[in-house]
């Protein structure tokens, strides 16, 4: 009997090509579309995407089902996102969505349907060497999505496939055209899928009561008032307005330097600002660590990335109980608690964790 | 792969005889019934004949039958039509009594009126079999009650409601009231299997839909008892006694009438369906542990077998069955797609987790013993596999 594979289809070109490639390779492919929670209409899993995905499934002549994960998505992804912001952290909801919604709930559904594997359109490569599963960055560096997949474990990886990781985006669009898939030219989804038509700040306003408080300089002098800490992110320059710097060391006759958010002090509800040079740090602490291979690598010198799309910087890692201390070889700008830090050895994804 | 269809409550195939009756009305007899010429006259005659057939089936006058686009429109017209006409006479806010297990065509229409502040609504609770106690309707009655809308048979769990008893009660109440209480029943699931004599039922309004009993999709009817004041929802012509504008769907209406004629002619097939349904219920009960038969064991549609499978999701069972050629449903087809747990099962008092395990088999004329045997041969394995603890899915590990 042909091996059965479930493909998570979003209606986008990547997952469509993923389904097409697997079908062509002779697998019994089942398309599944996830319905996820959103404030009004979800930017990604809306009717238009559903119809696009269904159309592809019909062209490929594969069974297609809609799976409702709204409740789980709200509970684990959206609620976590709001809680993290209210704690003045800046989370990566896509990391949580991958960990819990796609590679736990949807993976369970996959196995429930008698399939051996779940395939998605992520730009990463999966290779099995002596029955251990290694993850590598996607061939297309500009599209690489390894940053969002650091939480994957061996027990998940043995049921996963990422066929798109071997291609560059233009090639994927080319394949889509060759298969006559209508999604070949669909625009990419961008931004948070669940905020609907709102901006992130408007969305947060629906769930968090903002409390204004003081803006301080690094020496504790009050220079202004902020509108609620969750509205600010470390490294942000825009939106710091109405400052009176006369009592601050930052006061310089003539011209004040550009000022940035340096820290969100949740305990005292104060926003700390400083200059560009104050944004740089050489070390940080990590928690909730996962290693793809199940164990911490022997090597102490590894590459690290502290934000999606940022370059990889070399660093030394030291265990501190269940936490990890990371010392960079050069200072890193705007390290943000709540964001994921992801570790690499060359192009292999070793694991990651959450910055404290 | 052989495909087995066990979702007749969602819809069924149009019967070949129905299709044959409809055929002339596409190519030859295509006239507009409102036209004065011979083309119009022949379709007008067909329309009159169809109306007569439906009226005969419901034991009412031809003039009491309105053709619509289906059950949902009939329900909307019944409820909105009565309420809007009431307002037309400039009265205060009316009160509607309905139940929490109604089809969304009724529930959402009532909720719409509530939201627009055009009616107050009481939703009668049922017992855990989905059965309404007529006493509760008596208790809910208010001076401004205008309409009671209770479904004849439930589309998800098959429970048959005591429509005749409620109808007789309302009739009695009306003798002592100035403002009449109208009684509507959504009989969409009932036509093929239950007595739909409107005089026997004592109803003022009754909805039906052709595709649920061998007719085509997109056509239905509403019985409106003489003297029942309703306001039209669709404007633009004098069709259907000024109550529903638009050129009549002649082929559909002819098909509906033919299908209703066959319902009477083929009554005897129902015993076969009931036996197969019983075989399915007994087989599942015997072969699979931790299964609950939902709905009333006795007062239920003879083609309905609905269950909750503990510990697993109906959705997963459905997909597994579908991949092996067997078509069933987790609830009503109208709410699938959104897999919120069925409002009917929640109303019956099931918790969300149990309600997620719901699965509905509805049999029909073409169902065979082999079909049921096949389902009974594959279903226990599917359930067993799904119940095996999976390392994934936080629902199962309770995180």
Quick one: DSSP state of residue B329? B
> Would you tell me which residues 302-331 of chain B have a C-beta closer than 8 angstroms to some C-beta of chain A?
313, 315-316, 319-320, 322-323
Q: What residues does each domain of chain A span? A: 4-188, 209-274, 280-355
* Cβ contact A213:A272 at 8 Å: no
Q: Which residues pair with A65 in a beta bridge?
A: A32
The reported pLDDT for the residue numbered B332 is 54
pLDDT of residue A149: 98
Quick check: is A97 catalytic? yes
Distance CA A313, CA B352 (A): 48
> How far apart (Å, rounded) are the C-alpha atoms in residues B320 and A234?
49
Inform me whether the C-beta atom of residue B235 falls under 8 Å from chain A C-beta atoms: no
On average, the pLDDT of chain B sits at: 94
CB A277 within 8 A of CB A321: no
By the 10 Å C-beta count (0-12 exposed, 13-18 middle, 19+ buried), B36 is classed as: exposed
Tell me the pLDDT tens digit for each residue of B113-147: 999 999 999 999 999 999 999 999 999 999 999 99
pLDDT band at A117; cut points 50, 70, 90: very high
Q: CATH for B16-265, among 3.30.56.10, 3.40.50.720, 3.40.640.10, 3.10.20.310?
A: 3.40.640.10
Q: How far apart are CA A100 and CA A73, in angstroms?
A: 8
Contact call for residues A346 and A335 (beta carbons, < 8 A): no
Instruction: Tell me what the mean pLDDT of segment B340-348 comes to.
Output: 88
In chain B, domain spans: 4-12+267-397, 16-265
For the record, the structure tokens of B153 come out as: 């048979």
Q: Does residue A241 carry a pLDDT above 90?
A: no
Contact B393 A104 (CB under 8 A): yes
Q: Does B398 score more than 80 pLDDT?
A: no
Q: How many CB atoms lie within 10 A of CB B147?
A: 25
Greatest Cα pair distance, chain B, in angstroms, is 73
Give the distance from residue A310's alpha carbon to the nearest chain B alpha carbon, in angstroms: 32
End-to-end CA distance of chain B, in Å?
A: 40
B358-367 mean pLDDT: 96
Contacts of B333 in chain A (CB under 8 A): none
Query: How many CB atoms neighbour CB A247 within 10 A?
Result: 12
Residues in chain A within 8 Å Cβ distance of B395: 72, 105
Q: 3-state DSSP call for residue A213?
A: strand
Q: Determine, for residues A112 and B338 on separate chains, whether the beta-carbon distance falls below 8 Å.
A: no
In this model, does residue B333 exceed pLDDT 60?
A: no
Three-state secondary-structure class, residue B395: helix
Interchain contact, B393 vs A100, CB within 8 Å: no
Question: How does pLDDT run across B180-215, given as a tens digit for each residue?
Answer: 999 999 999 999 999 999 999 999 999 999 999 999
What CATH number does the domain located at B4-12+267-397 have? 3.90.1150.10
ipTM: 0.84
Mention every residue, 6+ apart, whose C-beta is less than 8 A from residue A63: A30, A31, A57, B322, B323
Give the per-residue pLDDT at B339. Answer: 54
For residue A149, the distance in angstroms to the closest alpha carbon of chain B comes to: 17
Closest CA to A213 of A198, A200, A223, A202: A223
Residue with tokens 């608690």: A337
Architecture of the CATH domain A209-274: Roll (2.30)
pLDDT in tens, B154-178: 999 999 999 999 999 999 999 999 8
| Integer Cα distance of B381 and A107 in angstroms | 20
> Per this entry, what is the length of chain B?
399
- Cβ-defined contact of A111 to B390 (cutoff 8 Å): yes
CB within 8 A of A252, min separation 6: which ones? Answer: none
The catalytic position among A18, A44, A88, A97 is A97
Please tell me the distance from the alpha carbon of residue A326 to that of residue A302, in angstroms, as a whole number.
10
pLDDT in tens, A95-107: 999 999 999 999 9
- A47 in reach of chain B (CB within 8 A): no
Distance CA A59, CA A176 (A): 12
Question: Which H/E stretch holds residue A64?
Answer: strand A64-68
- Least confident window among A233-247, B283-297, B330-344: B330-344
| Nearest-Cα residue of chain B relative to residue A101 | B393
The residues that bridge with A323 in the sheet, in sequence order, are A320
Residues in chain A: 356
Tokens read off for B307: 């269950």
Question: If you average pLDDT over residues B361-377, what whole number do you get?
Answer: 98
**Lowest-confidence segment of A30-44, B165-179, B335-349, B385-399 by average pLDDT:** B385-399
- Joined together, the tokens standing for residue B332 give 């009503």
Tell me what pLDDT residue B299 has: 96
pLDDT tens for each residue of A53-93:
999 999 999 999 999 898 899 999 999 999 999 999 999 99
CB-nearest to A113 from B319, B340, B393 is B319
**Closest by Cα among B216, B294, B217, B285 to B255:** B216
**pLDDT score recorded for residue B255:** 98
Contact A125, A16 (CB under 8 A): no
Q: Are the beta carbons of A68 and B340 separated by less than 8 Å?
A: yes
Q: Name the region of B74 (left: φ>0; alpha: ψ -120 to 50; beta: rest).
A: alpha
Average pLDDT over residues A222-234: 93
* pTM recorded for the entire structure: 0.89
Record: contact B394-A104, CB cut-off 8 A? yes
Partner-chain contact B392 A107, CB within 8 Å: yes
Closest CA to A291 of A327, A242, A341, A355: A341
In chain A, residues 94-113 whose CB comes closer than 8 Å to chain B: 100, 103-105, 107-109, 111-113
Given an 8 Å threshold on Cβ–Cβ distance, is A108 in contact with B392? yes
In a mutational test of the B interface, the residue from A50, A57, A104, A112 whose CB has the highest number of chain B CBs within 10 Å is A112
User: Are A113 and B320 an interchain contact pair (Cβ–Cβ within 8 Å)?
Assistant: yes
- Residue A21 pLDDT: 98
Q: Contact at 8 Å (CB) between B19 and B258? A: no
Name which CATH class applies to A4-188: alpha beta
The tokens of B344 are what?
């009917």
Q: Which residues of chain A are within 8 Å of residue B321 when distances are taken between CB atoms? A: none
Average pLDDT value for residue range A338-347: 96
Q: Which CATH number fits domain A280-355: 2.40.30.10, 1.20.1560.10, 3.30.70.1560, 3.40.50.300?
A: 2.40.30.10
Virtual CA dihedral for B47, B51, B57, B58, nearest 10 degrees? 160
* The pair of three-digit structure tokens given for residue A312, joined into one six-digit string: 């990889």
The per-residue pLDDT for range B301-314, each reduced to its tens digit, is 999 999 999 999 89
Phi, psi of B17 (to 5 degrees): -65, -30
From A129's Cα to the closest Cα of chain B, the distance in A is 23
Q: Given pLDDT bands bounded at 50, 70 and 90, which one contains residue B399?
A: very low
Strands B4-5 and B65-68, how do they pair?
Answer: unpaired
Which chain A residue has the Cα nearest residue B385? A112
Chain B residue with minimum CA distance to A113: B320
Q: Which residues in chain A touch residue B319, judged by CB atoms under 8 angstroms apart?
A: 65, 112-113
Contact by Cβ (8 Å): B222, B205:
yes
**In this predicted structure, which of A34-48, A154-168, A231-245, B289-303 has the lowest mean pLDDT?**
A34-48
Mean pLDDT taken over chain A: 93
Distance from CA of A223 to the nearest CA of B (A): 45
Q: Are the beta carbons of A68 and B393 separated by less than 8 Å?
A: no
């Amino acid at each position: 009997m042909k091996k059965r594979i479930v493909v998570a289809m979003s209606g986008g070109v990547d997952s469509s090509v993923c389904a097409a490639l697997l079908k062509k390779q002779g697998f019994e492919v089942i398309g599944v579309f996830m319905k996820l929670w959103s404030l009004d209409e979800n930017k990604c899993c809306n009717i238009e995407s559903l119809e696009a995905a269904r159309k592809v499934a019909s062209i490929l002549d594969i069974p297609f089902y809609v799976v409702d994960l709204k409740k789980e998505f709200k509970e684990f992804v959206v609620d976590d996102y709001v809680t993290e912001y209210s704690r003045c952290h800046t989370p990566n909801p896509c990391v949580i969505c991958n960990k819990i919604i796609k590679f736990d709930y949807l993976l369970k559904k996959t196995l429930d349907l008698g399939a051996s594997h779940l395939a998605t359109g992520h730009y990463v490569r999966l290779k099995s060497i002596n029955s251990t599963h290694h993850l590598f960055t996607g061939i297309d560096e500009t599209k690489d999505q390894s940053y969002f997949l650091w939480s994957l474990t061996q027990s998940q990886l043995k049921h996963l496939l990422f066929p798109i990781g071997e291609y560059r985006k233009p090639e994927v669009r080319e394949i889509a055209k060759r298969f006559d898939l209508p999604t070949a030219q669909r625009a990419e989804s961008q931004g948070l899928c669940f905020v609907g038509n709102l901006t992130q700040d408007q969305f947060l306003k629906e769930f968090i009561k903002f409390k204004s408080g003081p803006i301080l300089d690094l020496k504790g002098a009050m220079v202004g008032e902020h509108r609620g800490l969750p509205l600010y992110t470390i490294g942000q320059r825009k939106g710091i307005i109405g400052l009176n710097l006369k009592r601050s060391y930052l006061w310089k006759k003539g011209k004040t330097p550009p000022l940035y958010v340096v820290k969100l002090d949740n305990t005292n509800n104060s926003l700390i600002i400083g200059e560009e040079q104050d944004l740089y740090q050489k070390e940080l602490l990590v928690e909730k660590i996962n290693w793809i291979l199940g164990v911490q690598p022997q090597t102490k010198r590894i590459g690290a990335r502290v934000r999606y799309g940022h370059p990889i910087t070399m660093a030394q890692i030291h265990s501190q109980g269940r936490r990890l201390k990371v010392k960079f070889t050069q200072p890193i700008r705007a390290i943000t608690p709540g964001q994921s830090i992801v570790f690499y050895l060359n192009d292999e994804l070793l694991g990651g964790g959450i910055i404290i | 792969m052989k495909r087995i269809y066990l979702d007749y409550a969602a819809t069924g195939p149009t019967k070949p005889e129905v299709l044959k009756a409809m055929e002339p009305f596409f190519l030859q007899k295509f006239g507009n019934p409102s036209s004065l010429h011979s083309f119009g006259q022949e379709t007008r005659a067909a329309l009159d004949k169809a109306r007569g057939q439906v009226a005969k089936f419901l034991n009412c006058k031809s003039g009491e039958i309105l053709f619509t686009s289906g059950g949902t429109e009939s329900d909307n017209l019944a409820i909105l039509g009565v309420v809007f006409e009431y307002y037309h006479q400039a009265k205060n806010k009316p009160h509607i009594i309905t139940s929490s297990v109604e089809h969304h065509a009724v529930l959402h229409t009532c909720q719409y009126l509530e939201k627009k502040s055009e009616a107050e609504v009481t939703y009668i609770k049922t017992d855990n079999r989905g059965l309404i106690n007529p006493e509760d309707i008596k208790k809910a009655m208010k001076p401004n009650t205008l309409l009671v809308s209770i479904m004849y048979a439930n589309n998800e769990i098959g429970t048959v409601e005591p429509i005749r008893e409620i109808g007789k009660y309302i009739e009695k109440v009306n003798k002592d009231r100035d403002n009449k209480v109208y009684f509507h029943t959504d009989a969409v699931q009932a036509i093929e299997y239950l007595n739909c004599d409107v005089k026997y039922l004592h109803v003022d309004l009754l909805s039906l839909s052709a595709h649920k009993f061998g007719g085509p999709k997109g056509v239905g009817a509403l019985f409106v008892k003489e003297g029942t004041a309703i306001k039209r929802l669709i404007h633009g012509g004098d069709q259907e006694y000024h109550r529903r504008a638009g050129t009549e769907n002649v082929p559909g209406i002819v098909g509906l009438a033919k299908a209703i004629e066959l319902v009477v002619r083929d009554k005897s097939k129902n015993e076969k369906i009931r036996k197969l349904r019983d075989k399915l219920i007994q087989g599942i009960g015997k072969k699979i542990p931790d299964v609950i038969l939902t709905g009333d064991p006795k007062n239920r549609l003879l083609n309905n077998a609905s269950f909750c499978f503990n510990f697993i999701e109906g959705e997963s069972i459905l997909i597994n069955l579908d991949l092996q050629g067997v078509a069933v449903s987790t609830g009503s087809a109208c709410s699938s797609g959104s897999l919120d747990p069925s409002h009917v099962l929640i109303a019956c008092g099931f918790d969300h987790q149990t309600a997620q395990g719901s699965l509905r088999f509805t049999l029909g004329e073409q169902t065979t013993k082999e079909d049921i045997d096949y389902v009974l041969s594959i279903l226990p394995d599917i359930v067993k596999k799904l119940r095996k603890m999976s390392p994934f899915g936080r629902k199962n590990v309770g995180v």
